[in-house]
Structure 1
Amino acid sequence: MANPEKLLDLPLEEVIGDRFGIYSKYIIQERALPDVRDGLKPVQRRILFAMHQDGNTHDKPFRKSAKTVGNVIGNYHPHGDSSVYDAMVRLSQDWKVRNVLVEMHGNNGSLDGDPPAAMRYTEARLSAIASELIRDIDKETVDFVPNFDDTTEEPIVLPSRFPNLLVNGSTGISAGYATDIPPHHLGEVIDGAIMAMENPDCTVEDLMTVIKGPDFPTGGIVQGIDGIKKAYRTGKGKIVVRGRSTIEPLKGGREQIVITELPYEVNKANLVKKMEELRLDRKVEGVAEVRDETDRTGTRVIIEMKKDGDAAGVLNYFYKNTDLQITYNFNMVAIINKTPKLMGLKEILAAYIEHQKEVVTRRSTYELKKAKERQHIVDGLIKAVSILDEVIQTIRASKDKKDAKNNLSEQFGFTDAQAEAIVNLQLYRLTNTDIETLQKEAEELKETISRLEAILGSEKKLIRVIKNELNTVKKKYATERRTTIENDIEEIKIDLEVMVASEDVMVALTKGGYIKRSSLRSYTASNGEDTAMKDSDRILLQSEMNTTDTLLVFTNKGHYLYLPVHEIPDKRWKELGQHVANLVPIDEDEEVIQAVPVNEFNEGHYLTFITKNGLIKRTELKQYQAQRRSKPLVAIKLKGDDECIDVHLTNGSSNIIIATRLGYGLWFDEEEAGLVRPRASGVKAVNLKDGDIVTGGKVFPEGQNQDLFIATQRGAVKKMAIGQTLEKSSRARRGVVMLRELKKSPHRIAGIEVVNDEDIMMLRTENDIRVPVTVSEIRSTDRYNNGTFVVDQDESGNVIEIWKNLK
């Protein structure tokens, strides 16, 4: 009877968790993360070891890559050939690896991300410095384990004569872990390791006097010494890497930007393509052409400018909007004691030094053992030569080799090993010369044994050996540093002129919130007609502006919309335009009340706000310059049911005149309202009676004879000479009465405006009847006159709004 099936009743989470745990452990330890001691992932270690075993070294001819890949797969790494070949190619790419470990003939890829040629076409061998990683591997310096099919053995780590993890860096993604260790300068890292050996208590700051920071194979400029320091202390940190560029003059007063070095691991072809796209999409102005002139002498990307192009501004734009400047994040994770760990610079160097101590100790033990074995043989040979005739006689009298060995041991006291060496001795070795050689060798062996025992007996001498070997590697392989380190991360400021073509346009905004810009040609073609708008709408702003200017649009809820003119929809003058809510989302019940064109956010200009409940607020214009503009921004903080009714751009010495619904007027200096920040509420402008509200707050310059135009809800209008009929006061007062009080059907102010005789005022009633009034036709009166009726209240309803006709 067959064995019954054994079924386990287990929860699914437990089974999946257990299996995933085993899988994760495998990818963490055996695939994606480097060992802290030799800085290699398993596939890289197997490639280098297989090439070493095959004699495919730097002093021998190149061999087909396919042969190496076959060896690696067949003996050590049972995975796909492409993964092995890709790893091998990366070790040969001098723009990815600071000191290449594999030399390759043929196409091994490029900075543009081109794939390498197939492995049947390329040839490879170990580089000279890679041999330093493997040196002394045959002297029992590291542990070996059986390979996947138990047919041979492979090392679990390489002896590694230099700190390869820091020198060549590493990048990898595993399960729950990732690593990003940048390449460093070989000489600096060795100096740092020596400093850590001489002074184990040295700080990160001490180490940074020799290890300045990353040294990328592609050069470039690293900014942010604080980020480097944090990374070296904790294992995590952020730096900025930018390409190296110069601005060169051309004929005709033009310039060109020449980029000679790119940030680490940036694809050049993609970078050039992105720059060209930005130029074609007119996101950046002043660039005539972007081209790649890279050849075998080095990287060279040209950004040719137009005659009036701002090269420095364009370069800054490309730093900000392309991979010409990138952020590099340190994440120094490596395997230490079979466990992944985030390590700082000191820990990595300490782990490497411990590894070197073990390697040199094991090598010295191995060499001592071999030297003592040889010394024993040499002593036997010297003794045999001194009694040569007896030895020869004994050998001749013996039956065979075994008998001869036994006889030598019995008669002269030779050990088995010495007897074996004597019977294997060739006759020519019995000359006088050879005897001298043996004596010389005995002396040398004595010195070697003494030296090795000293190393094994003294930590100080052990460290001296490691230091000497590191200095030898440094002297032989260190090159010039390629990357420049700069202390601070430069803040990139981009002038609007670089991004936007300067063009004069006509901007129109209606009270209903419809906005557009039109070319001056389109505006001229309309013969000065009003912009297209709905019948119930009116023009709030119609102004010639430049595409590099900004329009600030204010709402009754105390918000403002920051609209760069070049982002306002471009429409023909006879088209309606787009609602501001499509550009920046505002509430359904929110109304546009004013728009202020701004050429520059400079000193000496202020925004002055008047609210319905009698507050005034003044803030510097420059504080309204915004970086983010995707939502409405706070212009003034409103309380309760208050609303913003007027906004003015002032120069600091203007006059303010405020009118209330019940007929009071107050005139005072702008400076009466102190400066506050944008999110403040302001101060009291006028002392209102219960039930009264402000219906208008206007601004006019000092010293000009201007009139105040008043319209009442009953359809009466009046004009008063401000300087003659009103007295200047200070803020927070009730003001003076500007209408004669009637007991029956009293007049209430619907709106005010500061006017000149050539102005035409528009009055709008509840029934949307619009009545034009020519200011010059209205005679001036005093404060106690209620003016002239221009609207039939019974037919049209109350007047609810007045404004200047902008046409």
Structure 2
Amino acid sequence: MATPDSPAASPERIDDIDVTQEMEVSYVDYALSVIHSRALPDARDGLKPVQRRILYQMSEMGLVPTHGHVKSSRVVGEVMGKLHPHGDSAIYDALVRMASPDIMRVPLVDGHGNFGSLDDGPAAARYTEARLAPPALLMVENLDEDLVEMVPNYDAQFMQPSVLPAAYPNLIVNGSSGIAVGMATNLAPHNPGEAIDAACHLLDHPDATVSDIMRFLPGPDLPSGGYIVGLTGVREAYETGRGSFTMRAKAEIGRVSARKMGITVTELPYMVGPEMVMEKIKEAVTAKKITGISAANDFTDRKNGLKLVIDVKTGFDPEAVLAQLYKHTPLETNFGINNVVLIGNQPQTLGIIPLLRAYLDHRISVLTRRSAYRLQKAQDRLHLVEGLIIAILDIDEVISVIRTSDDTDSARTRLMQVFDLSKLQADHILELRLRRLTKYSQIELEAERDQLQESIAALKRLLADPVLLRQQVATELREARAQVDTTRRTVLLEADGSTGSRRSPGPAEIADEPCRVVLSALGRIARTDPAAEAATADAGGSAPSVPRRRAHDAISAVVATSTRADVLAITSRGRALRLDVVGLPHMPSASIQLGGAPTVEAYLGLDRTKEKVVGLIDALGQDPLALGTSRGVVKRVVPDWPDKPDFEVITLKPGDFVVSATLAPDGSELVFVSAHGQLLHFPSQLVRPQGRAAGGMT
């Protein structure tokens, strides 16, 4: 062995390299590698290399929807060992994203197990399982028909597709995001049905404008649903490739308990998780940026889906609280569109029409290659079938030639000479077993020949006519449309550029002003507007006019109270239900009709056929409550009301129910009228006030 001191040792070599030049070259190489091989999607199939390799390898493993799930770690290992020589975590993260319905408008992987959420990561790959989702088959279908260029893998031992066939515009449907060196991309998801309709329209009308396309593709369709407020930024992005739009959660204001008004959130902006929202609400309340919230709870589960319930304090306007939530939490956020994609390995920023054209050009190329492949296969098969027909016509002579030949080469030569066959036809006959050759039917072979000739003629017409090619592309796009979910999830709202978070929400806390709560005989309930009360007082202090009522209706109770007080609704079952006055629908004036107001039973969630409200009193009143029942029981209740949303004011006997409830101070009289027109009246003090649990007297 040579040593450094021996003559055979190689001399020491030191090369002087300019650091600046080396850094420039190395950095450019690294940047191009990230751009081409990691961060940016291809405009044709909408996939990054790691996503494409995962789908291709899973299809090679036979992990179709009808196949059972396999361990995700097995998929990761196959992809890493054969196609993607990078870390297993990058492969698994890409697999998880393609399985997430929160991220993908059309998931491509069917995951089994804990694949995580927007707030929490997935379980390790050894604990989860995966297979291809049905839409993924549309991405990889017919790869064995030379649809795309196949390129060597990293060590030239395997071949992989440079792009997938993609039977639907996956880039526009599922969007993409990534950060490269010096650039980034962020494409919004869209509705698959709308994207396909837009692509078909562009096929039929190559000169279509953005306005034309937006008739079919009006805006993004986010996996999480919610609202998109304002389409100006969407149009800008469709025209230039850059723009932004506002996403807003779906929130409903309503009663979250018997006495509490609140806000229920059922859909969030794209890529916003419920835990993030709850954390931001807590921070905003602590920092006093948001007022009027008494509690916020996350009731999200797998069975019922997303549900965030935010309780609003009594005396606060839920609309104003919601506006604060939009302003200070991720319930309203922006999505920045930056359509940077690879076109021929070159990053470009494209609007919606160039993106659709890139995809359609790809599909035309795929269809052309597939048609050429099928044409060649049909021609090859026709050539063999014609040879078989010749052989079948004189099968005995064919068998005799084969038997009397010395070897295969001589048999081939003699068949070619005697029957005027080509080498391929002769070899095909020789490769067949004798029993198969003799069982061939001339009629069946001639029928196959005729069918092949028709197919060849149709394929030649298709390849020769660009119009037919485009029509076939449109037909296959519509077939793909029928195989994916096309229900729109996101509601598009036109706006003048201002959203709820930008408008002044007004004061969240409602002033404690005088008002009146009105109950009609048909159960309609509403409160008067404080401004109307003030106007009435300024006019002379007389009581405001009684609200006009619907036909066949009458005013059964009017309670003078204030906007931040409570009233008690007495029901036929002897219960008192507490109502926040501020939560009741208000009338703009003191004389508006009650026809549009809700029934108090519907407001309280009662079944009017089983229990209805028979009276309304002020919760802070000091006068006893008088009750009358259908069986002639009368009771006066001591006005000591517990601070509960629901409590009993009388113990009823079976079959009995309350028919009337009103305040009865000492000195007043109680009047009972029977169904037969008989009347009974007596001083109220004859009925001694009792506790809530008492049953009254007859």
1:187-222 alpha-carbon deviations (Å, 9 max, x no partner): 111111111111111001100000011110001101
2:507 equivalent in structure 1? 497
Unaligned runs of 5+ in 1: 503-807
Partner residue, 1:758: none
1:269 correspondence with 2:275: yes
Contact kept? 1:455, 1:462, Cα under 8 Å: yes
Which whole-Å CA distance do the structure 2 matches of 1:4 and 1:233 have between them? 63
1:354 positional shift: 0.9
Cα drift, residue 399 of structure 1: 2.1
User: Over alpha carbons, which structure has the higher Rg?
Assistant: 1
Shift of 1:284: 2.1
The amino acid across from 1:162 in the alignment is Y
Deviations 1:627-655 (A, max 9, x none): xxxxxxxxxxxxxxxxxxxxxxxxxxxxx
Q: Is the 8 A contact 1:375 1:445 kept in 2?
A: yes
Query: How far off is 1:434 after superposition?
Result: 3.0
**Pairing partner for 1:56 from 56, 63, 66:** 63
Is contact 2:39–2:178 with CA below 8 Å preserved after alignment? yes
Q: Distance in 2 between matches of 1:251 and 1:75?
A: 58
Number of corresponding residues: 501
Q: Return the alpha-carbon distance in structure 1 between the equivalents of residues 139 and 488 of structure 2.
A: 22
Tell me the alpha carbon deviations over residues 150-169 of structure 1, each in whole angstroms, 9 at most, x when there is no partner.
Answer: 11111111111111100000
The residue type paired with residue 305 of structure 2 is: G
- 206, 213, 228: which is aligned to 1:200? 206
Equivalent residue, structure 1, for 2:221? 215
Give the aligned partner of residue 357 of structure 1: 364
Cα distance in 1 for residues equivalent to 2:416 and 2:39? 58
Matched, 1:234 2:244: no
Question: How far is 1:498 from its partner?
Answer: 2.5
- AA paired with 1:141? L
Q: Which structure has greater strand proportion?
A: 1
In the TM superposition, residue 5 of structure 1 has moved relative to its aligned partner by 5.3
CA contact (8 A) 1:285 1:500 kept: no
Contact 2:115 2:122 in 1 (8 A): yes
Which of 287, 306, 311 is the aligned partner of 2:318? Answer: 311
Match of 2:167 in 1: 161
Q: Deviations over 1:551-580 (max 9, x none)?
A: xxxxxxxxxxxxxxxxxxxxxxxxxxxxxx
Deviation at 1:281, TM superposition (A): 4.1
Q: Secondary structure at the match of 1:368?
A: helix
1:588 corresponding residue in structure 2: none
User: Is 2:459 aligned against 1:449?
Assistant: no
Residue 395 of structure 1: aligned partner: 402
2:597 alignment partner in structure 1: none
Conserved? CA contact 1:284–1:499, under 8 Å: no
**1:115 paired residue among 92, 101, 121:** 121
The offset of 1:4, in angstroms, is 4.9
Q: Is the 8 A contact 2:229 2:499 kept in 1?
A: no
Picking from 17, 20, 44, the partner of 2:24 is 17
Shift of 1:132: 0.7
After superposition, what is the alpha-carbon deviation per residue over 1:777-804, rounded to whole angstroms, capped at 9, x for unaligned?
xxxxxxxxxxxxxxxxxxxxxxxxxxxx
d(CA) in 1 for partners of 2:115, 2:256: 36
Q: Provide, for residues 67-88 of structure 1, a one-character-per-residue CA deviation record: whole Å limited to 9, x for no partner.
A: 1100000001111111100110
CA 409–240 in structure 1, closer or farther in 2 if over 3 Å, else same = same
Preserved CA contact (<8 Å) 1:141 1:363 = yes
Give the superposition deviation at 1:398.
1.4
Match in the other structure for 2:86: 79
Shift of 1:114: 1.0
User: RMSD value over aligned CA atoms?
Assistant: 1.8
User: Equivalent residue for 1:177?
Assistant: 183
CA distances 1:482-526 after superposition (whole Å, capped 9, x unpaired): 001112143333446328999xxxxxxxxxxxxxxxxxxxxxxxx
Letter of the aligned partner of 2:20 in structure 1?
E
The answer for the alignment partner of 1:424 in structure 2 is: 431
Change (3 A) 1:395 1:251: closer
Following superposition, the deviation at residue 308 of structure 1 comes to 1.6
Question: 1:359-408 deviations in whole A, cap 9, x for unaligned?
Answer: 11111111111110000000000110011111111111112333222211
**Is this contact kept in 1: 2:225–2:267, CA < 8 A?**
yes
Instruction: Flag the 1:452–1:259 CA change in 2: closer, same or farther, 3 A.
Output: same
Q: CA shift at 1:423, angstroms? A: 1.8
Q: Is residue 284–residue 500 contact of structure 1 (8 Å, CA) maintained in 2? A: no
- Superposition pairs of residues 624-703 of structure 1, within 5 angstroms: none
- Distance in 2 (alpha carbons) for counterparts of 1:211 and 1:64: 38
Q: Helix, strand or coil for the counterpart of 1:35? A: coil
The verdict on how the C-alpha distance between 1:401 and 1:290 changes in structure 2, with shifts beyond 3 A counting, is: same
CA shift at 1:236, angstroms?
A: 0.3
Q: Alignment partner of 1:302: what SS?
A: strand
Deviations 1:10-49 (A, max 9, x none): 4322211111001100000011000000000000001001
Cα–Cα, structure 1 residues 322 and 250, in superposed 2: closer, same or farther, change >3 Å?
closer
Following superposition, the deviation at residue 178 of structure 1 comes to 0.1
Which AA in structure 1 matches 2:499? E
Q: Tell me the CA shift for residue 424 of structure 1.
A: 2.4
Tell me which residue corresponds to 1:259.
265
Amino acid at match of 1:284: I
Give the Cα separation in 2 of the matches to 1:59 and 1:251: 46
Displacement of 1:122 after TM fit?
A: 0.7
C-alpha displacement of 1:428:
4.0
Kept in 2, the 8 Å contact 1:36–1:336? The answer is yes
Residue 354 of structure 2 is matched in structure 1 by: 347
Secondary structure of the 1:94 match is coil
Amino acid at match of 1:380: G
Report what 1:602 is aligned to: none
- Higher relative CO (Cα under 8 Å, sequence separation at least 6) belongs to 2
Question: Which residue of the partner structure matches residue 558 of structure 2?
Answer: none
Q: Distance in 2 between matches of 1:404 and 1:479?
A: 61
1:380 to 387, 393, 407: 387
2:96 is matched with 89
Name whichever of 81-90 and 410-419 sits farther off.
Answer: 410-419
Contact 2:245 2:335 in 1 (8 A): yes
Aligned mates of 2:485, 2:477 — CA distance in 1: 11
Kindly tell me: are residues 430 and 155 of structure 1, through their superposed partners in 2, closer, same or farther at Cα, counting changes over 3 Å? closer
Q: Distance in 2 between matches of 1:354 and 1:193?
A: 11
TM-score, structure 1 normalization = 0.60
Matched to 1:497, the amino acid is P
Residue among 58, 70, 73 paired with 2:77: 70
Matched, 1:245 2:255: no
Partner Cα distance (2:11, 2:33) in 1: 33
> Which amino acid in structure 1 is aligned with residue 371 of structure 2?
S
Match of 2:231 in 1: 225
8 Å CA contact retained: 1:146, 1:152: yes
Give the Å deviation of 1:412.
1.3
Gaps of 5+ in 2: 1-6, 513-698
Tell whether 2:154 aligns with 1:148. yes
Amino acid at match of 2:252: T
- SS at structure 2 position matched to 1:241: strand
Counterparts of 1:199 and 1:398, CA distance in 2: 64
Q: Equivalent residue for 1:513?
A: none
1:405 and 1:420 in contact (8 A); partners too: yes
Measure the CA separation in 1 of the matches of 2:35 and 2:45: 16
* Structure 1 residues 267-325: Cα deviation after superposition (integer angstroms, max 9, x where no partner): 22011121123234443222111000111221110001122221111111010111000
Residues 1:187 and 1:287: Cα distance change in structure 2 (over 3 Å): same
Conserved? CA contact 2:392–2:440, under 8 Å = no
Identity of aligned residues (%): 39
